[in-house]
Amino acid sequence: MRPRRLPRTSASAAALALLLAAGCTGSGAPRDVPAPHATAPAVVPAASVSPDPAALRPYYAQRLSWRNCGTSGFQCATLRAPLDYARPGGAQIRLAVARVKATGPGKRLGSLLVNPGGPGGSAVGYLQGYAGLAYPAPVRARYDMVALDPRGVARSEPVRCLDGPDMDAHTQVDPTPDDRRETDLLAASFKRFASACAKRSGRILPHVSTVEAARDMDVLRAVLGDGKLTYVGASYGTFLGATYAELFPSRTGRLVLDGAMDPSLTAARLNLDQTAGFDTAFRAFAADCLTHPDCPLGTTSVRDATARMRAFLARLDRAPVPTGQDRPLGEALATIGAITAMYDEAAWPQLRTALTHAMDGEGSGLLALADSYYERDGDGGYSNLMPANAAVNCLDQPPAFTTPAAVAAAVPSFEKASPVFGRGLAWASLTCAYWPAKATGAPHRITAEGAPPIVVVGTTRDPATPYKWARSLAAQLSSGVLLTYDGDGHTAYGRGSDCVDTAINTYLLEGTPPPPSQRCRQS
């Protein structure tokens, strides 16, 4: 799945494929899944070549024209950036920015840029819907809270692909093909998705990489008048923040990377690790479910619950159940619905109820969970989350697999990593094999030599960004400091741990990072 942080208010193989890789899903040169702990060579992404500073001067000197927007106190503006940083004198791209000014009292510390992850999550929406209103009051008092929708996302020249009905069809394609015909249908769906993206968004597709988004953040930093970037990034936002520190270590201020990704891993390794992460989360859910007498997966053991879940999904593969809509619940949508609840243990009761009803032949509960994941509205329209997710991932990493045969060979490794989700997540890795824009990034270690302390936060049972990724990133960074949350769910800051929140607030407000290897326990 794509590592992302769900808003606090809160696939088919085609959709699953949009989940892993450099921030989500992946596909890559034809090769088998690497051996455990394998990393790629330290290759610097081609897109990181420095552009001409003189040619960039007009962008760094621009002034933003702020206007009131959204709820009271929020302001919006448009930032200009080069479409292609290798040709800064050429075409431009317009990027959406929002802020809410520091509430005071006390000395203002500058701007705090936030990113909720994805790739493809709207930072502006996250600011207006949560961060600008519900971040800790002392932090909001001292910082202007700022968001920038990354290029290709939401309000920043969004990548567009399939329309609503075609996206509905895409999300219902069998994610676990059993024969050549089903494999061909799945590959054809990936190809249609990629072709639609090329047709509707060909201008921007080659220019939505994480490196380019990080360069946009530096332009915004300068335009806001900040000498250094202060930033909180969740999930994929950690990769974006680490990339910024790699490119601009001397301009890096207080960075919090929560739910960290490991930039040194290949797409295939990322996908396999994340598959294991969702298995860890499912086992935790199953163990909790067993304590409830109405658990739809039984009350005997996690092993039995796993077997029942596999049998349920296999049954839906053969015979979908009605939902009250013209979209029956098949294996694809049910899998995404279940995975959605893995991101936050607060959603486990909802999943128990949805599974109970689906097993009784009524699938609307799981469908609602899947729709929330895809950001599908009641009229059948979709946000651009999934197109942007694929577009960024397919630029940031070469594909994990380039042929169906390569995926089929890797399926046993994925099924071992997750008996419930592994097969579908393996086939999801085929997405980027058909992508119309060639990858410009490559897996590599990020050290950010010269940057001040960077706080990396890892949750021990995080489904989307496994804890070992946080440990790895903190070790790679020359100034990385690991903060561990021993708990469930995806990311840790603002999710109920006073220990985590106090450590991060102290760092943001005073510049003092937590002590090495601090560990916070779930209450």
Cα(44)–Cα(42) distance, integer angstroms: 7
Question: What's the 3-state SS for 463-512?
Answer: CCCCHHHHHHHHHHCCCEEEEEEEEECCCCCCCCCHHHHHHHHHHHHHCC
Residue whose tokens read 């993206």:
197
Catalytic residues: 235, 462, 490
Q: Which residues pair with 112 in a beta bridge?
A: 145, 230
Cα(342)–Cα(277) distance, integer angstroms: 10
Q: Which residues pair with 95 in a beta bridge?
A: 79
Environment class of 350 (CB within 10 Å of its CB; exposed 0-12, middle 13-18, buried 19+): middle
Cα(90)–Cα(493) distance, integer angstroms: 40
513 φ/ψ angles, rounded to the nearest 5 degrees: -75, 160
The angle at the Cα of 155, spanning 149 to 158, to the nearest 5 degrees, equals: 95
Q: Which residues pair with 117 in a beta bridge?
A: 4
Cα(42)–Cα(40) distance, integer angstroms: 6
Cα(289)–Cα(282) distance, integer angstroms: 10
Cα(110)–Cα(103) distance, integer angstroms: 12
* DSSP string for 74-110: EEEEEEEEESSTTSTTS-EEEEEEEEE----SS---E
Environment class of 473 (CB within 10 Å of its CB; exposed 0-12, middle 13-18, buried 19+): buried
- End-to-end CA gap in the chain: 27
Which ranges of 47-173 would DSSP assign to H, the alpha helix?
53-60, 123-126, 132-134, 137-142, 164-171
